[in-house]
Structure 1
């Protein structure tokens, strides 16, 4: 196994770029994946996020292509989101800086005219989201015959986002004789099915068990009964000096929730320190927000899972899951935004009663319990409003129905009695009596299930 980048047999242009990037030694996924990629074999790479997967395929790709040649692309990299596609292009520019290789990135959200013009100037590597690639191909602006290498990055996310039909169409229009590379942090059953059609006798490179968070990330879990209490806890953590929050991503499930958290933070920090990122934001706004965060111009980025995967921002000290992700694999990708490149990071998750089900699923996925901590004494626990309690009850019923189709549902049975109780002015809106939703003076680490 290679101890240094010199051991791979890279040429001087690639080695100089690696040195310029400040890399001293290859990560485990790079050590295992680069030799078979250089050897022309199909590779399925599975590794934690933040461990250098992009360089594991881009470095040998640059070595294989060497220099600009012809007018049409010889390598195609497919990614699920425009942000990840743009970041892969940035990495290629970094690693290929001493070569004349030409890269074009294709993604939706803006007109294709400039992208088509860039292709027509001549290209060696295309980085694209699936939909935009097919649109430009079907319009007759991409010639696929010279393609030698096809890369699918974050393949499981592409399948979660419903890209399977487009991926199959891409596989139909690229040459049969080609090298295939597939990389991801998680590998679902659907991806294994895709890989059967996509890869030929692949080398499977797995440096850690699937869906394992990086060891450099400290995880913690707080049971918080409602949204207002979550906001209070967020405020407390941001104010607490011992937390040492220098650069933070706050993850929410929905655009509405992200906007609400953003509005709260802007009132405290102003919009020079906080930005919000979700699918409703315009392309330029999204690019500017990520660039400002990367450049340390802002301290806090509030986001939906559009940025959970693949976005490499250095020195993110903390990730806060304001809400537990619905797609449980996204937990690994979210917390992988911190603790990157061997640095330490912290991932904090807030969980209400309706989210407990997903926490159990996540713990099963990562094969470990998430350490639970009591809500600090300085955090005010708000009463849960009636409507929010009803929503939580509905969600819990839905989860139980998924597990047991015969479950009739407690929500409707309780509805009438809850209405009566609320009318009487009882304490039904108070936090759950369950101890984990109450403040405690002692740390409460969870027992292994």
Structure 2
């Protein structure tokens, strides 16, 4: 798409051309007019879709230069590396402008940062925690703010920095709010709802070309760890279907905990590969598991485990999504004629990693409905701020990220495609 479609100033188009940008990204085309028009906006797009350049251009179009000491734009990012990248993008696209921009990321003394801010600034790029600390020291004046931007919002939520974001947003008063994220889920919505009223949400799904054929993929979106255990126990109850299963977790400690939490009808039915303690049920080699008839479920930790031979295993469960997507991809790429079902569980916090995997394989992973008889564990805060566990059935809601009702187009009756097991779908058999 031509840069002209963005309706930018000639100066900005020239700056983009000089920087090597030859066309506009889809997210930029969809949102630029709304950003320039001052609307509140939630922009959802995968990594590398051009979100940062998007709001940098919007800021440079909207920013009215003056001699005010107080900043007109506050941009919150999850870490120093991101802050430096945003500042670099501004400097790249604002040549020949006297742009005053300061980064607050907590590596220097606060007194120096306060003094720099008092000299006058147009744009502040900051970590939420650092910006809040400087604000409480009366060093960050938000009274003139025109744009409040949260970048990589899903990472900010993952790091637990929602409170400083909300406090800063409320302190800023009336201004334009822009949130950029790769995914939307319940915890993110809870943060956004604190300071945005009826924002427009625009989403772009940019998937790369499909690079390789994969096993049959399925995804269950669940709220927490305990519900994952409940779901795995519920599914694996059917030992005729799930006659041999490998379950992947991230650490050996989790493998140990999961091994004790899984229900088993027979001795040696559940085991761990390279168990944490010598007296636990387990195997040193996956071939021993394959050759043991009574062994049905093998739990494997990603840490310290090199490539293992998964041939002959019809079901692979990713109880946790590996942070290194290559670990996941190495298991789900089809290498022969074997039919394998790769089933993943993901919480809200893991959806970011799921999106990266989908970008790599060039296809969306089908989302399955949660079984109706699944017990969902939800942490609820009582009046005394103590955390208690509330168990609810999955009747309402049944699934989806943050448990929104599914669109009809997303409702799937997924075929396993594994010989006689092709007759069985999770939705019909367990849903």
Q: TM-score range by the shorter chain?
A: 0.5 to 0.7
**CA deviation string 1:285-331 (max 9, x = no partner):** xxxxxxxxxxxxxxxxxxxxxxxxxxxxxxxxxxxxxxxxxx99xxx
What root-mean-square deviation, in Å, do the aligned CA atoms of Structure 1 and Structure 2 show? 3.8
Count of residues paired in the alignment:
272
What is residue 207 of structure 1 aligned with on the other side? 204
CA shift in 2, pair 1:440/1:139, >3 Å: same
In structure 1, how many angstroms separate the alpha carbons of the residues matched to 2:138 and 2:22?
43
Q: C-alpha displacement at 1:192, in angstroms?
A: 1.7
Structure 2 residue corresponding to 1:105, chosen from 83, 98, 103: 103
| 1:356 paired to 2:248 | yes
What is residue 285 of structure 2 aligned with on the other side? 430
Q: C-alpha displacement at 1:84, in angstroms?
A: 0.9
Which has the higher Rg, Structure 1 or Structure 2? Answer: 2
CA shift in 2, pair 1:395/1:97, >3 Å: farther
Pairing of 1:32-47 with structure 2 (within 5 A): 32-47=30-45
**CA deviation string 1:122-171 (max 9, x = no partner):** 11010000111011111111111000110011212212211122122112
Q: Which structure is higher in helix share? A: 1
In structure 1, how many angstroms separate the alpha carbons of the residues matched to 2:140 and 2:178?
21
In structure 2, how many angstroms separate the alpha carbons of the residues matched to 1:56 and 1:31?
9
Contact 1:47-1:185 within 8 A present in 2 as well: yes
Higher mean Cα deviation, 101-110 or 114-123?
Answer: 114-123
What is residue 397 of structure 1 aligned with on the other side? 259
CA shift in 2, pair 1:155/1:140, >3 Å: same
What is residue 3 of structure 2 aligned with on the other side? 5
In structure 1, how many angstroms separate the alpha carbons of the residues matched to 2:127 and 2:14?
30
What is residue 183 of structure 2 aligned with on the other side? 186
What is residue 335 of structure 2 aligned with on the other side? 443
**CA deviation string 1:41-69 (max 9, x = no partner):** 01100001111000111101111104354
SS of 2:125's equivalent?
strand
CA shift in 2, pair 1:126/1:395, >3 Å: same
In structure 1, how many angstroms separate the alpha carbons of the residues matched to 2:117 and 2:261?
48
**CA deviation string 1:377-397 (max 9, x = no partner):** xxxxxxxxxxx9x74640433
What is residue 58 of structure 1 aligned with on the other side? 56
CA shift in 2, pair 1:420/1:154, >3 Å: closer
Contact 1:47-1:53 within 8 A present in 2 as well: yes
| 1:17 paired to 2:10 | no
What is residue 193 of structure 2 aligned with on the other side? 196
What is residue 270 of structure 1 aligned with on the other side? none
Q: C-alpha displacement at 1:215, in angstroms?
A: 1.1
Contact 2:72-2:144 within 8 A present in 1 as well: yes
In structure 2, how many angstroms separate the alpha carbons of the residues matched to 1:76 and 1:421?
54
SS of 2:191's equivalent?
helix
Return 5+ residue gaps in structure 2 as ranges: 216-223, 226-244, 291-306, 313-333, 343-415, 417-431
Contact 2:25-2:49 within 8 A present in 1 as well: yes
SS of 2:15's equivalent?
helix
TM-score by length of 2: 0.55
Q: C-alpha displacement at 1:200, in angstroms?
A: 2.7
TM-score by length of 1: 0.53
| 1:147 paired to 2:9 | no
CA shift in 2, pair 1:391/1:416, >3 Å: closer
